[in-house]
Amino acid sequence: MHILKYLCLLFYISTLSLNGMELSKTDAHKPLPSDATLYIDKTREVSIENIDTKIFKLIEEDQIGFGYAPDFDVWVKIEITNPYDEKMKKILEYTNPLTTQVLLYDGQTKQLLFTGGTSASSALRSINPAFPIVLKPHEHKVYYLKASSSVTTLIVGLSLWDVDTFYQNESKHQFILALFFGAMGIIILYNLFIYFSVREKVYLYYVVAFAGIIFHHLFYKGLAGLYFFTPEETTSIVKYAAFIVAIPALFLALFTKHMLKTAQYPKLDKFLHLYLPIFLLMTLLSYMFNFNNLRNLFSVILLIILFFITLYAFIKKNRQAKFIMIGWIALMSSGFLMYLSSVGYYDVFHKVPYYVETSLLIETLLFSLILADRLKQLRIDKIASQKQLIAYQAEEENRLTKLVEEKTSKLQIAIKEKDLLLQELNHRVKNSIQTIVSFLRLQVDEIHDTKMQQTLMQIENRIISISHLYSLLYAKGDISYINAYEYFSLLIENIQNTLHQENIKIELTTTITLHSEVSIYCGFIVNEAVTNALQHAFEPTQKGLISVDLVKKEKHYLLTIKDNGKGFDTSRGYDSLGLVIIESLASYQLKGTLEIDATDGTDITITWKDRDE
């Protein structure tokens, strides 16, 4: 009984194969599965020469999916009859552009007619592999189509088209895809330019993610192999399909993490950080060990994790989450449906052909709007920060102004107190010096020894030189610097008044301002040199000239005291107290050099370096 049922079934199948499908002038497009039969070659040893011996079964669905890179070949037997008195031209379309190899054979002659798929150029310039078919009047033909996929998904679907209708549909299909990719490209380029402008990493994540999605979709829809890559290049690139899917998923994760600021959700953020290296590792392993059925699974899991993180952020009233949520719903639905179609469970795209493109475009626009909103928010935050900074600066300026005023007031009070103290000190010092000078003068008047009187008067002049310096410093109000001409003039006038040498002329030439510390040493030197010249350089009734000159050459001062007197013998050394004082001050106080030329009068030159330079 069972044998009888089996024989009846075989007879029924053979009847269908013999009759096949009749061409119709009214059918511009017709799916073939109901008129075709199928055989799965798990040995991969069947060829066109012995395919006639195999038993084919009816195809019960419009498309049959076999998952990623199945380890077998699929043969489809197609029988077509031309019932008309004229020649008929049709186009047989294989509706999956990702199948690695598609071969079409003539069933009678066993000849290979056409090749297609990612590993070979299509007979026609179409996205899907398509083959022209010509039937003579009343001709019945048998075709065998062999399909195999080494990397990508294997989905078997066939359609028979009228030639004009096929090209119209193909043009329309390519035009819609061109619009889609053009719109996506414009949006991505726009955000790329923004990235170069603001240097925000989130824009770079967006650009890389959606550029990766476009790259993947070019292969998924067959445009990459049609327009951009040769069959060999396409085959090589498709081998890295796991990474082509994983890279956009990774950058979408970084984009979502950055936009939602997942650090504010520690547990979810930590979980995402733990999964990302696992995701990369499993993607790499699936590529290395050819786990084709699992290669996109970890990307799908990552997208699901991101979806739930976004959902949690939405519940927590995250401002960006509601927009991202809509985008994730669109992406998740299209990604999930693409996965179901790829593994052969369910193909919704046969009924809604542009669902994926619509979803991706919606998501791209939404995420771009989120970035625009973020940029707007950054500008608002920047303006608010600038206002806060200006307010803070104004407040700080007021505080500092008050502080400066307060400090200035205290300093002014301190300066006034200092001035009073200095005036009092100046008054006391001047009185003390004057008292000392008075004592010396009283002592001079009581001493009749001329040499002793000269000695006391020299001491008096030295003390008066200090007194003059002191008076000038505090009279000017600047205790750091003193006018050398004014100071030396007072010294010379005092010496002349003391020694009463009216026949000796003293000339002073200088425009220098000296530091107060240096001034006192120079004053002593001038006092000693001029006094020595007046006392020893000239005869009692001799007229003479003493010149005092102070100049600055580059970074050095030159003080010269010169007379046209009789000079002295320098070979005996400096036995005069005045010269000893001059040498000591020049060497140890001014850190300079002393030069004395007494061959024609006496020329004393002292050179020292400016301490301020």
CA distance 356 to 337: 8
Residue type, 360: L
Averages of pLDDT over each 10 residues, the chain, 613 residues: 37 38 68 77 90 84 72 89 89 85 90 80 78 90 89 82 89 91 91 86 90 88 84 82 88 89 90 91 84 76 89 87 83 75 66 82 83 79 85 87 87 77 67 68 68 69 67 65 84 80 87 84 86 83 89 90 83 69 86 87 90 70
**394 is a domain residue:** no
Measure the CA–CA gap between 413 and 422, rounded to whole angstroms: 14
Separation of CA 590 from chain center: 58
Same domain, 140 and 260: no
CA Rg value for the chain: 55
**Do 125 and 198 belong to one domain?**
no
Same domain, 183 and 233: yes
**563 falls within a domain:** yes
One domain for residues 104 and 190? no
Tokens of 603: 């020329």
N residues, the chain: 613
Query: Is residue 296 situated within a structural domain?
Result: yes
pLDDT score for 15: 36
DSSP string, 33-55: GGGEEEEEESSS---TTTGGGSP
Q: Are residues 106 and 184 in the same domain?
A: no
Whole-number Cα distances in Å, 304 to 277, 336, 363, 374, 384 = 16, 10, 16, 24, 37
Specify whether 128 is located in the same domain as 277.
no
Between CA 529 and CA 561 the distance in angstroms is 7
Question: Is residue 432, in this structure, part of any structural domain at all?
Answer: no
SS (H, E, C) 346-358: CCHHHCCCCHHHH
Burial 36-60 (b: 16+ CB within 10 A, else e): bbbbbbeeeebebeebeeeebeebe
Beta bridge partners of 105: 112, 144
Beta-strand (E) ranges in 422-543?
Answer: 481-483, 504-510, 513-515
Structure tokens at 357: 């493109």
Picking from 72, 41, 71, the residue whose alpha carbon sits closest to that of residue 56 is: 41
> What range defines the domain where residue 151 resides?
2-171
Specify the CATH number for the domain of residue 514: 3.30.565.10
Residue 552 lies in a domain: yes
Beta-bridge partners for 607: 558, 593
Give the DSSP H/E element, type plus range, for residue 370: helix 355-446
Q: What angle do CA 408, 410, 416 make, to 5 degrees?
A: 100
Domain boundary among 387, 421, 442: 387
- Listed in order, strand segments (DSSP E) in 122-265 are 130-135, 140-148, 153-162
What is the pLDDT at residue 11?
A: 34
Residues 559-597, buried b or exposed e (16+ Cβ, 10 A)?
Answer: bbbbbbbebbeeeeeeeeebbebbbebbeebbebebebe
Burial of 466 (0-12, 13-18, 19+ CB in 10 A): middle
CA distances from 138 to 109, 141, 346 (A): 18, 10, 38
Same-domain status, 284 and 310: yes
Q: Cα–Cα distance between 303 and 363 in angstroms, integer?
A: 14
241 shares its domain with 367:
yes
Indicate whether this model's pTM tops 0.85.
Answer: no
- Do 96 and 243 fall into the same domain? no
Query: In CATH, what number is assigned to the domain containing residue 53?
Result: 2.60.40.2380
Collapse the DSSP code of 556 into the 3-class scheme (helix H, G, I; strand E, B; otherwise coil) and give the result: strand
Residue pair 522/556 in contact by the 8 Å Cβ criterion: no
In the 3-class helix/strand/coil scheme, how is 324-343 assigned residue by residue?
HHHHHHHHHHHHHHHHHHHH
Assess contact for 157 and 63: CB atoms under 8 A: yes
Domain boundary among 146, 171, 196: 171
DSSP conformation class of 56: P
Report how many domains make up the chain.
3
Residue 144, pLDDT score? 93
DSSP 536: I
Encoding tokens for residue 487? 């100071």
Residue 450 in any domain: the answer is no
Side chain identity at residue 398, one-letter code? N
Among residues 90, 68, 85, which one has the least CA distance to residue 136? 85
For residue 18, is it within any domain?
yes
pLDDT in the model for residue 474: 63
Of 24, 96, 90, nearest in space to 64 by CA: 96
Chain-centre distance for alpha carbon 119? 42
* Cα–Cα distance measured from residue 245 to residue 302, given in angstroms and rounded to the nearest whole number: 11
C-alpha 514/C-alpha 436 separation (Å) is 27
Indicate if 373 and 250 belong to the same structural domain: yes
DSSP 570: G
Is 253 found in the same domain as 362? yes
Task: List residues bridging with 612 in a β-sheet.
Answer: none
pLDDT value at residue 558: 92
Q: What pairing do the DSSP bridges indicate for beta strands 21-22 and 73-81?
A: parallel
> Which of 154, 171, 188 is the last residue before a domain boundary?
171
Q: Which of 184, 183, 177, 174 is nearest to 211 (CA)?
A: 184
Q: Do 36 and 118 belong together in one domain?
A: yes
The answer to whether position 422 is within a domain reads: no
Do residues 248 and 212 touch, judged by C-beta distance below 8 A? yes
